[in-house]
Amino acid sequence: MRHGRILLEHRGAVAVMTLNDPATLNAFGAKLREDMTEALDAVEAGAARCLVITGAGRGFCSGANLNDPDRKPRDRAAEARGEAKTDLAAWYNPTFLRLRALRIPIVAAINGIAAGAGMSLALSADLRVAARSAGFLQAFARIGLVPDCGASFILPRLIGLSRAMELSLLAERLPADKALEWGLINRVVEDEALMPGALDMAQRLAEGPASLGLIRRLYWDGLEAGYEAQLAREDRVQTEAAATADYTEGVAAFREKRAARFSGH
């Protein structure tokens, strides 16, 4: 990426996107945001079958970079009047919608603190593996703001309203072990085992059928749907899955009592 604030590498069919500004704990500065847009362009256009998101150094992502020297001055009065786009409207919201619409599974390898929008980035993944030293922080109340980047939508659905309120109103750090107990993440591993574990999980997903992308779409869309509407959505997406070559291969492998060889198509 042009600024080097995002590293994108491919390990077979797994794309690994590393936030690379360790001096700020990988905060969302202007250059990192530009690089992330470029990286997502490449992932969407490429042949990867799973995306891993992680951070360089001691942090996963500390949220917005409030001390960013590249940050353009903001006219908050104009924003309040609706005459100018906020940072959320201009970049964060479109980017998080892109992550939600991605056609491949996302694994977050959370190597340190995930705070503010950085915690939302972790929540945007389908599976979350955290190092034991990692932590989660809804820091907004500390500076007089409110949760954003989808946190107010996803958190109560993951951990319940009371715990979401606790995290957001008290703005206390949630350690990885407690996050696992609450259902915020899927696994906790020792720090040195984080990337091997996340990559092993991602490789399993990358070897899976094209329907994995459809599964993630069903579950994300289902968060907003009523039961009857979700039944109808399942019908539509099942028809789409049944038209893939991977479905044909999966049925053939089942009948022949062998392991399926999925192509992702």
**Tens digits of residue pLDDT in 138-176:** 999 999 999 999 999 999 999 999 999 999 999 999 999
Residue 191: CA atoms inside 13 Å, Cβ hemisphere, count? 11
For residue 1, what pLDDT is reported? 83
Cα–Cα distance between 139 and 123 in angstroms, integer? 15
Q: Is the dihedral of CA 119, 219, 199, 160 positive or negative?
A: positive
> CB pairs under 8 A, 24+ apart, for 140-146?
140/116, 140/168, 140/171, 141/168, 141/169, 141/170, 141/171, 142/171, 143/66
Average pLDDT over residues 95-120: 98
Question: Which residue is listed with tokens 């009948």?
Answer: 255
Q: How confident is the model at residue 41 (pLDDT cuts 50, 70, 90)?
A: very high
Q: How confident is the model at residue 62 (pLDDT cuts 50, 70, 90)?
A: very high
pLDDT in tens, 1-40: 899 999 999 999 999 999 999 999 999 999 999 999 999 9
**Phi, psi for residue 128 in degrees, rounded to 5:** -125, 120
For residue 79, what pLDDT is reported? 56
> Which residues, at least 6 apart from 55, have a Cβ–Cβ distance to it below 8 Å?
18, 19, 22, 25, 26, 61, 110, 111, 112
pTM: 0.94
Spell out where 2-72 has E strands: 6-11, 14-19, 50-55, 59-61
How many other CB atoms are found less than 10 A from the CB of residue 212? 23
74 alpha-carbon distance from chain centroid:
27
